[in-house]
């Protein structure tokens, strides 16, 4: 049974870099077959896709983040990470990692099927 | 970006009611649409993918339909555990975008 779990600091100071890690258990990231994704939810608000990465290194980001986001994979730890720089209070949110199944033969990427439980990050001095 | 307009934003209903939630895409997205249910403090749970494909273990009272720009999620007979917030997601084009959510209340 595949599980995802987010970890990282719950409090980040303005202008600093938010760093989160998602640990995948029950499957190997390098086996392929899905994109590793980050999604966030501002308090009491809707969902915003941040971006995702394939184990081969292909990455896609939401332009709304103005190139502040970077997603990477650590295959040795079976983890993937999010770094968001120059944070402000507007980046305060629950951050979720999730996987999006990807079918190489057709190039089709399905919607997120498995999510982590989410981690709250507050940006404040 | 593709805008997903979800309606209504809130809905009051009773046990046993039939309810329908709609998502409209600002441009055609084929059937690249999923529906999620989110309960307070929990991660979203995928109910339906590819517009109408029910996920395993999701009760058959949930159904989805549509293609192109208009999609619906229907709950045929509301149960107590269905009171939650529902979101649609388009994954046809980057950036992926969600509807603003529908809060289903008793």
Determine the distance in angstroms separating the CA of A4 from the nearest CA of chain B, rounded to an integer.
11
DSSP string, chain B: ---EEEE-SEEE--TT--EEEEEEESS--TT-EEEEEE-TTS--EEEEETTTEEPTTS-TTEEEEEETTEEEEEESS--GGG-SEEEEEE-SSSSPEE---EEEE-
Q: Across the interface, do B42 and A117 touch by the CB < 8 Å criterion?
A: yes
- Determine the pLDDT at residue A31: 83
* pLDDT score of B8 more than 90: yes
Find out whether A34 and A26 touch, Cβ atoms under 8 Å: no
Asked if the C-beta of B34 comes within 8 angstroms of chain A's C-beta atoms, the answer is: yes
| CA-atom Rg of chain B in angstroms | 13
- How close A112 gets to chain B, by Cα (Å)? 7
Q: According to the model, what pLDDT value does residue B102 have?
A: 98
Binary contact (A49, B42; C-beta < 8 A):
no
User: B5 to chain A: which residues are within 8 Å by CB?
Assistant: none
Using the Cβ of B42 and the Cβ atoms of chain A, whether some distance falls under 8 Å is answered with yes
Q: Which of A92, A99, A110 is nearest to A9 (CA)?
A: A92
Q: How does residue B42 score in pLDDT terms, banded at 50, 70 and 90?
A: very high
- Mean pLDDT confidence for B34-46: 97
Q: What is the mean pLDDT of each run of 10 residues along chain A (125 residues)?
A: 96 98 93 92 96 92 94 94 97 98 91 97 97
Q: Do A47 and B44 touch (CB under 8 A)?
A: yes
pLDDT given for residue B106 in this prediction = 84
Whether A8 contacts A22, CB under 8 Å: no
pLDDT tens for each residue of B49-105: 999 999 999 999 999 999 999 999 999 999 999 999 999 999 999 999 999 999 999
Please answer whether residues B65 and B48 qualify as being in contact, where contact means their C-beta atoms are separated by less than 8 angstroms. no
Does residue B22 contact residue B7 with C-beta atoms inside 8 Å? yes
CB contact under 8 A, A46 and B100: yes
Q: Give residue A17's pLDDT.
A: 98
């Amino acid at each position: 049974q595949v599980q995802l779990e987010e970890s990282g600091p719950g409090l980040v100071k303005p202008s600093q870099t938010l760093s989160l890690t998602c640990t995948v258990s029950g499957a190997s990231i390098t086996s392929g077959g899905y994109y590793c994704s980050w999604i966030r939810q501002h308090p009491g608000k809707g969902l915003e896709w941040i971006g995702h990465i394939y184990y081969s290194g292909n990455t896609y980001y939401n332009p709304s983040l103005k190139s502040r986001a970077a997603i990477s994979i650590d295959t040795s730890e079976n983890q993937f990470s999010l770094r968001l720089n120059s944070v402000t209070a507007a980046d305060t949110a629950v951050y979720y990692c999730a996987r999006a199944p990807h079918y190489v033969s057709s190039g089709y990427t399905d919607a997120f099927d498995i999510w982590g439980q989410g981690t709250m990050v507050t940006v404040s001095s | 970006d593709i805008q997903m307009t979800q309606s209504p934003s809130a809905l009051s209903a009773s046990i046993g009611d039939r309810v329908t939630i709609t998502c409209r895409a600002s441009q055609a997205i084929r059937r690249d649409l999923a529906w999620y249910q989110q309960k307070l403090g929990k991660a979203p749970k995928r109910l339906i993918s590819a517009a109408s494909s029910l996920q395993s273990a999701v009760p058959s009272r949930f159904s989805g339909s549509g293609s192109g720009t208009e999609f619906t999620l229907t709950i045929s007979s509301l149960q107590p555990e269905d009171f939650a917030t529902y979101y649609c997601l388009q994954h046809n084009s980057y950036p992926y975008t969600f509807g603003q959510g529908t809060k289903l209340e008793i």
